[in-house]
Amino acid sequence: MPYLGLKGNGLLTGITLSSGMGFVLFGYDDGVIGGLLTAPTFEAVFNLSSNMQGTVTSLFIIGALVGCLFTGVSNGRWGRLTITHIGSVILSIGATLQAASFGVPQLIVGRVVAGVGLGLVTSNVIVWQSESAPRQVRGMMVASALSLLIVGQLLAYWIDYAMSGYTSSVGWRFPLAFQAFIAILTSVMLFFMPESPRWLFQQDRTEEATEILRLLQTHKGVVDEHALASTIADIVEALEVEKKQAGWKELLTEDAVGSRRRVLLACLLNACQAWSGSTPISYYTTVIFENSVGLPHQLALLMSGFLQIWFLVASFGTWYGIEKFGRRKSFMFSATSMAIVMAILAASLAVNTHAGGIVAAIMVFLYQSFYTWGFMGGLWCYGPEILPLAHRTKGSGLATACLWLSTFVVVEFVPSALDTIGWKTYIIFAVFNLAFVPMVYFLFPETAGFTLEAVDLAFMDKEKGPVKRADELWQVIKRGGDIGLREEVAQEKKNQMLDVEMVENV
């Protein structure tokens, strides 16, 4: 039986877990390198300076940037899952190179190769999941997959801690090699999952796409034929509206569905994530606990592990809030809270006392809560939602590339900043977070509850603008109404014809 015989919620759960494994990979690398940088057995082999620590960490990001750009250039030619399989294989090769390293050059090559693989995985798997999910639970599904990213970080920190007692190089080689196992497991799971139905429609594989949608919309053995027909009609309408605007040239011009603006919004939001402070917290948690808070190495590793447990527990709140409160409110609440936490973190480190160190540790824990409630799950959910179908692959590749590029800059900047200006580094992130609030309010329309195709409607209204129009549509959804792209476009054409008739009668 195809897809292990799964249907409805069972198939959606399989898709979420398979997508989540791609983010386990992401989270594992986020956590594993930070715990190894200060390990005595790792330092004995590589003896990295502060600047070189940043370079080794960030070159992985350059590789991921290349992988994302390849996704954009490929324009979905080979499907979401095929590219993800390729990325998993490349990442496993990179992990093997790192684990077998006896010098900095080989370690760097392994980091870059693994980065390329992760870039391919992250820029495809989230689009695949978003295009397969029903609008009512799309945010929750993505948020739950992002919780598995935290599982990856948690796994990395506790493996680092478990291996820290080894006095041989196996203490750091095994954690790096373990990435290959996760990558292979991700690829195996994806072999049993269906391709994105929206991508299949785009490739004129209508029968296969329809069958997958039918399986996804089967509940207790029953298919809502009306809902299925409506979904198919919206996808076909979106392809019709966007079919003349699918090239790179059209991406650089403002078309009927606002493609250029939407890609720029996705890129801007992704670039903001690293400057929220998530990158130094993720990559340098152990370093922060050791150097900024003053904990010994073993205790710093232990605290990092407990932090990830808290991060995972806090992420469950996103499953509910991302749909209940919408994307915009989640982003603004998250940014405001992170700004306050970063300011208090800076102040507590500035006093340089034991009590200040305790407050700083508490702020790191609070930061993880506020980050996951908005800019973590929300960002990965919002990108595929805001992008039009014709440009979703290109846009996702470019947006994720912006994430990795900004992450590279921050990772290069943070070690030197912590060495030179210390606590003032966190003031910089507080200012950025504060700036995100008006940016989201004025620029980013709501997408919660919309079908991916219905988002087009917000950008097709040139008079009201996307933020105001999306808010009107969201109010309809909250009242239990339904919005279909096909019906709205037909009504818009009818209104235009009536306007023409009125002018002619005058």
Confidence of residue 206 (pLDDT cuts 50, 70, 90): very high
Find the domain containing 91 and state its range.
2-200+246-443
Query: pLDDT digits over 415-428, tens only?
Result: 788 788 888 999 99
Query: pLDDT digits over 121-170, tens only?
Result: 988 998 999 999 988 889 999 899 889 988 998 888 789 888 888 888 99
Report which residue type is found at 105: P
pLDDT for residue 245? 58
Burial of 29-38, coded b for 16+ CB within 10 Å and e otherwise, reads bbbbbbbbbb
Average pLDDT, the chain: 86
* The total number of structural domains that make up the chain: 1
pLDDT for residue 261? 92
Cα dihedral 320, 459, 261, 374, rounded to 10, equals -10
Q: Which two tokens stand for residue 268?
A: 């801007």
Q: How far apart are CA 436 and CA 502, in angstroms?
A: 45
221, part of any domain: no
Strand bridging mode 222-223 / 218-219: antiparallel
pLDDT for residue 38? 77
Share of the chain above pLDDT 90, in %: 43
489, part of any domain: no
User: Do the Cβ atoms of 200 and 82 come closer than 8 Å?
Assistant: no
Who has greater pLDDT, 416 or 171? 171
230, part of any domain: no
82, part of any domain: yes
Confidence of residue 355 (pLDDT cuts 50, 70, 90): confident
69, part of any domain: yes
Query: pLDDT digits over 37-83, tens only?
Result: 878 889 889 988 877 877 787 788 889 999 998 888 776 678 899 99
- Looking up residue 310, the CATH number of its domain turns out to be 1.20.1250.20
Q: Look up tokens 């940016």; give the residue.
A: 439
pLDDT for residue 16? 93
466, part of any domain: no
506, part of any domain: no
